[in-house]
Structure 1
Amino acid sequence: MAPLPRRRDRPAGRPAHAGNPSDRCPRDRASRCRRGGEDELPCETQADLSVEWLHRGAAKPGTGTAILDRLAQLAFPPGRGQAYVVGETSNVRAQRHHLITRGFERGQIASEGYWRPGRIGGHDHVDD
């Protein structure tokens, strides 16, 4: 199965997490865990989408393991799925490795680290 396509039509400044489920068909099931400040942005899609917001509170962006901890508890639906993982590079790498230990093949995971603490600009395609 081919990895999910990279979104190049996203306006600058639009959160990376906002670009994927809108592409899904009505028969698709999707889950999303989103970590961030207090803002909860809507996501319009025809898919059967479940969104869970994990607020970081006073923690600095890019720190903590809230999404990884939640991912460890998440029950995946039966069948072969796809994962789309974006965020701070070291967190994306940890989440990708976790998915692999849970049975995902590398080709089922599209992952991009689009920032790192102390670095301005750039992104990392995480495929290790």
Structure 2
Amino acid sequence: MHARVVTAAPLTPTLVRVVLGGGDLDHLEMPEATDTYINLAFPPEGAGYDGVFDPGEVRKTHPREQQPARRRYTVRSWDPASRQMTVDFVVHGDVGVAGRWASHAQPGDVLVFEGPGSGYLPDPAADWHLLVGDESALPAIAAALESMPSEARVIVRLVCDGPDHEIPLTAPDEADIGWLHRSGGPDDVDLLPDAVADLRFPVGRGQAFVHGEADEIRQVRRHLLSDRGLARSDMSCSPYWRRTMTDEAWRQIKRDYVAAMEADVS
């Protein structure tokens, strides 16, 4: 599938919002979820195939060095009337395939993808919700907050690089939203786990969405399951990236890392 860039504009120093339209979006079916994702395919420079391509066919017919780089991104929002999709990208200059593409995206540029898929939707039967993450999880967390009724009980903790990296969030009336700012030091890895450990949870059944940097998420997951007694079935948990590792290096070890994380507390 493919779509074309309608607009691309920065939201913060490290977050670029890309609005997509046209192409296959005219007949796209979106799942009912707030963590809906698409698998993007970025061809290498000089790839021997057209800008609109079938990733599966390219895998079968082209050598490894011409294979597109694959990245999974959350759909920030979907407008069924205009058939437009919004995707927010974390960018760090020209580091990383997807961020580099987003930072240079222009109207009319093609973006090839597969999906959508989904894995999380706030359960209206839960007594309260915990949403935890960083910039990479912000699109899914923002979408989840927007889907909740005004009376929902929700706690949010988000890590970012400073006040100018925060964005306005539409949330339930009594939402407890806290932003944590990195210092650039070694203690940054403990910001999110420490903040969650300090929380006083409401009574009743909680549902948690815990996504972001691998070592931070692993600590939070272990705490919620072992110390707080949350049910594994009430938690959506995924490490999106890992500090000090490139996207490609992380993709090589992610499967083993997740298996080890799951074995911490099953």
TM-score range, shorter chain: 0.7 to 0.9
Q: Residue type matched to 1:120 in 2?
A: D
Q: How far does residue 69 in structure 1 lie from its aligned partner after superposition? A: 0.9
Question: Which residue does the alignment assign to 1:95?
Answer: 220
Matched-pair contact (CA < 8 Å) for 2:156–2:177: yes
Cα distance change on mapping 1:97 and 1:79 into 2, 3 Å: same
Matches within 5 A, 1:1-128: 6-8=35-37, 9-10=75-76, 11-13=87-89, 15=135, 16-19=137-140, 20-38=144-162, 39-46=165-172, 48-59=174-185, 63-101=188-226, 102-117=228-243, 118-120=245-247, 122=251, 128=262
The C-alpha deviation readout for 1:72-91, integer Å capped at 9, x for no partner, is 11000011011111111121
SS of residue matched to 2:189 = coil
Number of aligned pairs?
124
CA gap 1:5/1:107 in 2 versus in 1, 3 angstroms: farther
Distance 1:41 1:5, change over 3 A: closer
C-alpha separation in 1, matches of 2:215 and 2:208:
17
Rounded to whole Å, the distance in 2 between the matches of 1:59 and 1:47 is 34
**Which structure 2 segments of 5+ residues have no match?**
1-32, 38-74, 77-86, 91-134
**Cα separation, 1, equivalents of 2:169 and 2:34:** 18
- Percent identity over the alignment is 27
Higher relative CO (Cα under 8 Å, sequence separation at least 6) belongs to: 1
Q: 1:46–1:73: structure 2 CA closer, same or farther, 3 Å change rule?
A: closer
Structural RMSD (CA):
2.6
Contact kept? 2:211, 2:240, Cα under 8 Å: yes
Amino acid at match of 1:108: D
**Alignment gaps of 5+ in structure 1:** none
Q: Which runs of 4+ in 1 moved over 4 A?
A: 121-127
Q: 1:97 to 1:6 in 2, by over 3 A?
A: same
Give 1 or 2: higher helix fraction.
Answer: 2
Structure 1 contact 30–47 (Cα < 8 Å) conserved: no
Larger gyration radius, structure 1 or structure 2: 2
